[in-house]
Amino acid sequence: MTATFMAVVRRDLLLAVRQRADVANTLLFFIVVVTMVPLGVGPELNTLRTIAPGVVWVAALLAAILSLNRLFANDYADGALEQMLLTGEPLPIIVLAKSFAHWLVTGLPITLMAALLGIMFDLGVEPTAILMVSLLLGTPALSLIGAVGAGLTLGLRGGGVLISLLVLPLYVPVLIFGAGAVEAVTGGLSPQAHLMLLAALSLGTTVLAPWAIAAALRISME
């Protein structure tokens, strides 16, 4: 089971390396969206500091959504997904591996890039660190919840828009606690409660989402 998990992760990472442009698009999109905001809002530092956590988190959600159709669509089109559904290994393990690989090429780089964006918004050291921790704890939930949506909309026409409608409302708690953690720190409070809730969301989805993704994929393949 561990061997299958590792094999799927390695396979998806290898594919991500070979399809660099796709991965880079998502990350560039994230950076561009965040960079647009100061241009629109104006260079008032106090305003920027206040809105920074929310802006970074919203951009992270949008970038995650944008990358979701990459998750299963290619495997669906070339038949690799059929093979995955017909394995003697538990399907939830395979989809968990795929979501983990997806997180490694979207959630993790987004978390790292938040350090630069923190400087851009003049957030200060501690709020930037908390922003990164909140992203680190929250983005796994984005990949996993998104994978459920990706599984459900697989093979549908206009699936891209539908996926946003399905998944964005489910992202709301992650967004609230993620941005809330940074706001708490800048307001002089402890971000611990927010971070713990984020971790709980990610752990909860790690346990439950794979079953939902597996069921969604089986329905989509009918």
Partner 1 sequence: MLQTVDLECTRGERLLFAHLAFTVEAGTCLHIAGENGSGKTSLLRILCGLLSPTAGEVRWAGANIRTLREEYWQQLAYVGHLNGVKDDLTALENVRYGAAVTGRAAPVGHAREALAELALAGFDGSLARFLSQGQKRRVALARLFLAEAAKLWILDEPFTALDVRGVAVLSDLIGRHTARGGIVVLTTHQDVPLPGRVARLDLQVLEPA
- How many Å apart are CA 205 and CA 63, to the nearest integer? 19
* CB nearer partner 1, residue 85 or residue 189: 85
What one-character DSSP code corresponds to residue 43? S
By CB under 8 A, name the binding residues for partner 1.
3-4, 7-8, 10-11, 14-15, 18-19, 74, 77-80, 82-90, 94, 221-222
* CB nearer partner 1, residue 77 or residue 112: 77
Q: Smallest gap, in angstroms, from Cβ of residue 78 to partner 1?
A: 6
Q: How many residues does the chain have?
A: 222
Other beta carbons within 10 Å of 165: 10
Q: Smallest gap, in angstroms, from Cβ of residue 4 to partner 1?
A: 6
Q: Smallest gap, in angstroms, from Cβ of residue 154 to partner 1?
A: 13
* CB nearer partner 1, residue 90 or residue 160: 90
Residue with token string 């979701």: 68
Q: Smallest gap, in angstroms, from Cβ of residue 218 to partner 1?
A: 8
DSSP codes, 166-210: HHHHHHHHHHHHHHHHHHHHHTTS--HHHHHHHHHHHHHHHHHHH
* CB nearer partner 1, residue 105 or residue 133: 105
